Amino acid sequence: MAVNVISTTKAPGAVGPYSQAIQAGDFLFASGQIPINPEKGKIVGGGVAAQAEQCMKNVGAILEEAGLSYDNVVKTTVYLTNMNFFGAVNTVYAQYFKKNLPARSCVEISKLPKDVFIEVEVIAYCGK
């Protein structure tokens, strides 16, 4: 089985000892993306909707680097620091997944890196 590291400057670099994504066989496993603007290296302001938008853009950049799109995503996990953000995040999330809706988990946790409101990770199918 081939294993490839996926890396792009169009998404924030890892803030620890991990890869942005790993393609293993027919699947891509993307690390959780927080709302860092990769051009500025800063957390986006504007609340949870703006942060969700940046997370999704970061995920999209990683998918693109691997030659994939949101249509290839089969599973997402969304981490929120407050479940009251669920509706606002769903509104943003729905703009990115239109064809085959992936399976999803959404959980509230007490804290995320850099005190952001949201983190999104995905698994995508790379096979034919």
Measured distance CA(108)–CA(115) in Å, rounded: 14
106 is catalytic: yes
Active-site annotation holder among 106, 112, 123, 126:
106
Expressed in angstroms, the distance from the first to the final Cα of the chain is: 16
Measured distance CA(28)–CA(126) in Å, rounded: 7
Active site residues: 106
